[in-house]
Amino acid sequence: MLKQIPNLITSLNLLCGCVAIFFAISGDLVTASYFVFTGIFFDFFDGLAARVLNAQSEVGLQLDSLADMVTSGVAPAIVMVQLLSEATSGVPINVFLEETETMGWYGAKFNFLPFFGLLIAVASACRLAKFNVDTRQTTSFIGLPTPGNTLLVLSLPLILAFQPSALVESIVLNPWFLVGITLLGCILMNAELPLFALKFKTWDFKTNAVRYVFLGICLVAIVLLQFIAIPVILLVYIGMSLIWK
């Protein structure tokens, strides 16, 4: 029974991702963000539980990737679609139904730019597929993990909701800024970029100095910057990975 605890935690990650997608499609991006963050929390602890219980399995590995594809692939893609739709038209994506004699669809009017955000799902799938077969990524990462890119995307609606300002809105709701964030995330996830992992095999400071320093910076940034801290933390993470080799 204990051996199934990691898979149960992974399943909770998947469930959170499914609920997040529902809210994202409904246009409630803040609630969607909360469920995605909760799913990422479960994603962090399923691997830890598997190591503690010595319950690693091939099924668990595949289930973890499938759950990540939903929570850290499809959910942020839909959130980006909705952000791009709001940036270009001021409203979520909509299909206008025009009444005819047959009550059929008559010239559905789409703004196609928001669908650019779906590239996040495609790039996430490529990232996860490569991770599953790449033996170099047992103790570190090659390319940005999908949860890292997801945190960046999901921070945007939270910044808009809880730290609003004219400057913030002019930046975050600029469609070309959002397109740039989408492309940057897709590239970083699949780049040959070595990044350290937050996996603790021991708890001593010498072995885990980069991890402890990074977590300390995260704590200070969150206290000072709130949700704006998330993109800042991502930049710090990449910078520390490149410097602290």
Q: Contact at 8 Å (CB) between 101 and 124?
A: no
Cα separation, 117 vs 145, in Å, equals 18
Q: What is the DSSP letter of 90?
A: S
Strand ranges, E, within the chain:
140-142, 194-196
Q: Which residues contact 56 (CB under 8 A, 6 or more apart)?
A: 6, 50
Cα separation, 125 vs 132, in Å, equals 11
Residue 25 counted as domain residue: yes
User: Which residues span the domain enclosing 21?
Assistant: 2-95+110-197
Q: Is 181 helix (H, G, I), strand (E, B) or coil?
A: helix
- Residue 200: its pLDDT value, please? 72
Residue 142 counted as domain residue: yes
- Residue 104: its pLDDT value, please? 43
Q: Contact at 8 Å (CB) between 222 and 215?
A: no
Residue 117 counted as domain residue: yes
- Residue 94: its pLDDT value, please? 55
Q: Contact at 8 Å (CB) between 194 and 140?
A: yes
Can you give the CATH number for the domain in which 165 is found? 1.20.120.1760
Residue 242 counted as domain residue: no
Which token pair is 44? 């962090």
- Residue 108: its pLDDT value, please? 45
- What is the helix (H) or strand (E) element at residue 62, kind and residue range? helix 58-69
pTM, two decimals, is 0.89
Q: Contact at 8 Å (CB) between 183 and 234?
A: no
Number of domains in the chain: 1
Mean pLDDT, each 10-residue run in order, the chain (245 residues): 81 96 94 96 82 74 92 97 91 53 46 92 96 82 94 96 94 96 97 88 79 94 95 95 82
- Residue 95: its pLDDT value, please? 47
Residue 146 counted as domain residue: yes
- Residue 4: its pLDDT value, please? 79
- Residue 109: its pLDDT value, please? 54
Residue 209 counted as domain residue: no
Residue 217 counted as domain residue: no
* Dihedral sign of CA atoms 45, 51, 52, 54 in order: positive
Residue 164 counted as domain residue: yes
Q: Is 139 helix (H, G, I), strand (E, B) or coil?
A: coil
